[in-house]
Amino acid sequence: MIVPSAPQLSKLLMYVGKPLAYLLVYDILVVLAYNVMGWTWIGLEHMPLTLFGSAIGIVLSFRNAQAYDRWWEARKLWGSIVNNTRSWARQVMCISVPGNEPLVRLMQNELLYEQMAWTHALRQHLRGLEPWDAIAPFLPAERVEELKREKNVPLALHVAMGQRIAERCRAGWYDTLTWSQMDDTLNDLADAQGGCERIKNTPFPKQYDYFPRLFVHMFCLLLPLAMAPTMGWRSPLGSTLVGFIFLALDKIGRDLETPFDNKIYDVPMTAISTMIEINLRQTLGETELPQPVKPIHGVLW
């Protein structure tokens, strides 16, 4: 995720990159052809590009709104993961079995460390990366080897956690109401995981990606032809500026479509999962904590 900072013209121009450079060169060639070579027949001053541009603007606005909704839903799902993880930590740490304090403490450590592993595993799972290095600090080596047989590592971790709290309930450590509340928290975390996987595995409709991009490129190609007869040598400035706006709007929508693709526009899952780890370690009373993730060159991962 790109963090807010003072806007810089160079960064704004580089955001669109090569298409903008190609457009500027094309605009200059058009005005040279029209004014120097006398190719006045290429002029399209009567083409209703204003209406065309308005229609494209409406399409881009609709597409970008839908893309941002996907990104914001992904961020809200990770917000629910943060909240439910804190609820899980509170529920786990409130377990008290007189006479079994060492075993209770052991279980509390195991459950919270497994939740740390789950959070980091989910992050890697959504980004399509191997989770083993990320979860190794929280689990025994043999457990990591067992998980390598699983297709969905976060799911396997939560299944094991659910089995553990059910076993302790049957052993009389707490009543069924307490078990039910803890199980509900795991269900809420599973719902958040499922929502993230739905966004990850359901691509944005290609029609929403292909046609707006096609329309924008067509508009950028026609614009200098329409402006050359009226603006003369100034037309590259005007057509490039207008083209930059449309190209930027198109790229913004395409960047927001995929919030879990390990790109700079993603939901900052590394920062969130590290924050969760810090919260859980502090809940356990630990003092050696990882440092919060900070932006690198204006990007928070």
d(CA 89, CA 101): 17
Tokens of 142: 């043999």
Its pTM stands at 0.83
Tokens of 178: 């307490």
147, 156 contact by CB (below 8 A): yes
d(CA 20, CA 243): 8
- What is the identity of the amino acid at 56? I
Q: What angle do CA 65, 68, 70 make, to 5 degrees?
A: 115
Q: Which residues touch 175 (CB under 8 Å, ≥6 apart)?
A: 169
In order of 55, 56, 66, 174, 209, the CA distances from 62 in angstroms are 11, 10, 6, 52, 12
Per-10-residue mean pLDDT of the chain, 301 residues long, equals 57 69 82 76 73 86 88 93 94 82 87 94 92 92 91 93 88 83 93 94 81 86 81 79 85 85 85 93 88 76 68
Tell me the domain boundaries of the chain. 9-259+273-283
239, 86 contact by CB (below 8 A): no
DSSP characters over 193-210: HHHHHHHHHSPPPHHHHH
Q: According to the model, what pLDDT value does residue 121 have?
A: 95
d(CA 1, CA 211): 26
DSSP characters over 86-142: HHHHHHHHT---TT-HHHHHHHHHHHHHHHHHHHHHHHHHHHT---HHHHGGGS-HH
